[in-house]
Amino acid sequence: MNVLGAVVAKDLKLAWRNRSGWLSAAAFSTIAVLTYSFAFDLATGDVRPLLPGVIWTTFLFAGVFAAGQSFQDEVDDGTFDALMFSPVGATSVFAGKLVANLIALLIIEFSQLILATILFDVALLTPELLGIVLIGTIGYVSLTTLLATMGGHVRGRSVLLPVLSLPLLIPLLIGAVRATGASLGLEAGTGPWMLLLMVFAVWATLAAVLLFPTAAEQ
C-alpha cells in the first residue's frame, strides 16, 4: 500500500509539474463547450437533447489529448524501466497512472459541467449525472492508459492512440450518452445504460490490469 501510495503521489506531482498536456485538454474542452453554446439557439429551443453529445464528445477528445502524456514522459526518460525492475509490481505502476489520469480528467470534466450549466442553463451537477461521468471516466481512462502503454514505443503514437481507442470505446460512448440523456429526463430510466457503463468500466479495468504487464514488457 505504501508503494502504491508512493507511485500515485509521484504521478500526481509529475502531472502537476508537467501540466501542459492537461492544460491543453482543459483549453480545448472550454473552447468546445463555448462554441457549442454559440451554435445552439438557447432562446427558442430545448437544448437538452443535444447536451449528452456535447458533454461526451468534449470529454472524449479532452482525454485523448492528454491520456498518453504521462506514460510517454516515463518512456522517454527511461523511468518506466526503472519502475519495472524495481520491487514495484506492474499493477502498482498501472494504478498510479490510472489514478493520476483519472483525477486530472475528472477535474477538467467537473469544471466543464459547471461551465455548461451556466451557458446552457440546465442543471448538470446532479448526483446521478456525476455518477455517470465518474463510471464512464473510469472505463475510459483504464482503456486509454492501457493503449498508451501498448503504443509507447511506436512511431506515430499520437495518431495511434485515438485510432485504436475510439472503436473500442463505442459501447462506453453509447452507454454514457444514453444514460446522460435519461438523467436529463429525455428517456425513461437510466438503469440499463448505467448497467452497460458499469460492465464496460469493470471489463476495461480488469483487462487493463491483466494485460498491462505484457504491454509494459513489449
Quick check: 3 binds other proteins (CB under 8 A)? yes
Quick check: 10 binds other proteins (CB under 8 A)? yes
Closer CB to other proteins, 86 or 126, in the complex: 86
Quick check: 41 binds other proteins (CB under 8 A)? no
Nearest to 192 by CA among 183, 202, 204: 183
Quick check: 6 binds other proteins (CB under 8 A)? yes
CA-based R_g, the chain, Å:
18
Closer CB to other proteins, 83 or 147, in the complex: 83
Which DSSP category does 125 fall into?
Answer: -
User: Which long-range contacts link 88-94 to residues 24+ away (Cβ below 8 Å)?
Assistant: 88/3, 88/7, 90/212, 90/213, 90/216, 91/209, 91/212, 91/213, 92/3, 92/4, 92/7, 93/7, 93/212, 93/216, 94/145, 94/146, 94/149, 94/208, 94/209, 94/212
Sequence letter at residue 154? V
Among 42, 47, 50, 84, binds other proteins (CB under 8 A): 84
Binding mask 18-37 for other proteins (x = CB under 8 A): x-------------------
Q: Which stretch binds other proteins (CB under 8 A): 38-46, 76-84, 161-169, 189-197?
A: 76-84
Among 43, 87, 155, 167, binds other proteins (CB under 8 A): 87
Q: How many residues bind other proteins (CB under 8 A)?
A: 21
Among 23, 27, 77, 206, binds other proteins (CB under 8 A): 77
d(CA 155, CA 210) in angstroms, rounded, equals 25
Q: Which stretch binds other proteins (CB under 8 A): 11-19, 24-32, 52-60, 141-149?
A: 11-19
d(CA 18, CA 108) in angstroms, rounded, equals 16
Q: Which of residues 103-132 bind other proteins (CB under 8 A)?
A: none
Q: Interface with other proteins by CB under 8 A: which residues?
A: 2-3, 6-7, 10, 13-14, 17-18, 77-79, 81-88, 217
